[in-house]
Chains A and B, each alone.
Chain A
C-alpha cells in the first residue's frame, strides 16, 4: 500500500532542538516567560493567601453589619430616652391606674374598684 521509495527523509538540518544546548536554552526562555504565571498560580494555592482572600470580604461584611447594629441600637436608645415615662403610662395604662402610678403610691380599695370597673366598661 505504501510506497516509501527508499525510506525516510533526513530532516536533521531543520531539527533545531536536536541540539541539546539549544533545546535547554529554549526551555529556559519559555520558563522565564512563564515565571509570572507560575508565581501567580503558586500564590493562589498558598493557604495564607487563600485565607486572606476569603477573610477580607468576610471581615468587611462583619464590620458593616456591626456598624449598622450599633447605629440602630444608638437610635433606639436615644428615641427611648426622648419619650417621658408619663407619656408611656398615659398611653398604655387606664386612667385610674396611671393616676396612682404617677403619684407613686399604693392603690387604695376604691382605686382598684375604679380600675376594674373601668376595664369592664
Chain B
C-alpha cells in the first residue's frame, strides 16, 4: 500500500497498461474524489456525478494508450470526466441548475439526528447551488470540497487565476446569501 502511494501516476499508468489491476485500482483510489467533484460541478446531481465519474474511469482505461504524458494522467482523466459529464447533460437534456438530488449516505442508519441535519443542509445547499453557473460551481466545489489550489483549477478550466478567484468569491457570496446564517463554515 505504501509502495503504491509512493508510486508516480506515470508508473501506475505504465503498469495499468499491462493489465495490472492493483495499479489501476490505485489510480482510481487516488483520483476518485477529484473526478467526482468535477462531475458534480458539471452535473449538479450527485447520483449522476457518481455514474459519470465511474464510467469515466472505464473509458480512461480503454483509452489509456492515448495518454501521451502519463505524468499528467490526472489532467487527462479530468478532461475525460468533464467531456463525459457534458455529453451526459446533453443526452439527458438536463436544464442548467436543476434541483440537486438527495444523496443517499451509507451511514444513514447510524446517526439519524446528525444525518437529518446533514440532509437539511444538503437540500439547502442544493437549492442555493442552482443559482450559480457551471463554472462557478466547478470553482467553488473544487476549491472548497476538494481543496484544490487556484492555479490547479485555473489549469484545469483554462482560466486565468484571477478569474478563478473572482468566481470563487462570487460563488461563496451567493451561496452565503442564499443559505443565510445556517451555513456551516469551516474557517
**Given A1-B165, A3-B169, A10:B186 Cβ within 8 A:** yes
- Residues of B at the A interface (CB closer than 8 Å) are 16-21, 24-25, 28-29, 32-33, 36, 40, 46, 50, 54, 57-58, 61-62, 100, 103, 105-107, 118-119, 121-122, 125, 140-141, 143-145, 162, 165-166, 168-169, 171-173, 175-176, 183-187
Chain B contacts of A40 at CB under 8 A?
A: 19
Chain A contacts of B166 at CB under 8 A?
A: 2
Distance, CA A30 to CA B168, complexed state (A): 32
Distance, CA A21 to CA B58, complexed state (A): 21
Q: Which residue of the partner chain A has the closest CB to B122?
A: A13
Chain A contacts of B24 at CB under 8 A?
A: 31, 34, 38
Partner of A30, one of B28, B105, B169: B28
Beyond A16-B46, A19-B107, A42-B19, 16 extra complex contacts between A and B, CB < 8 Å: A4-B169, A7-B187, A8-B143, A8-B186, A9-B125, A10-B121, A10-B186, A12-B184, A13-B121, A16-B50, A27-B32, A31-B25, A34-B21, A38-B16, A38-B20, A44-B19
Distance, CA A22 to CA B33, complexed state (A): 11
In this complex, how many residues of chain A approach chain B with their Cβ under 8 Å: the count is: 39
**Given A5-B173, A9-B140, A14-B40, A23:B162 Cβ within 8 A:** no
Chain B contacts of A42 at CB under 8 A?
A: 18-20
Q: Does B46 contact A14, Cβ atoms closer than 8 Å?
A: yes
**Given A14-B103, A38-B61, A40-B19, A23:B185 Cβ within 8 A:** no
- Residues of A at the B interface (CB closer than 8 Å) are 1-19, 21-23, 26-27, 29-31, 33-35, 37-45
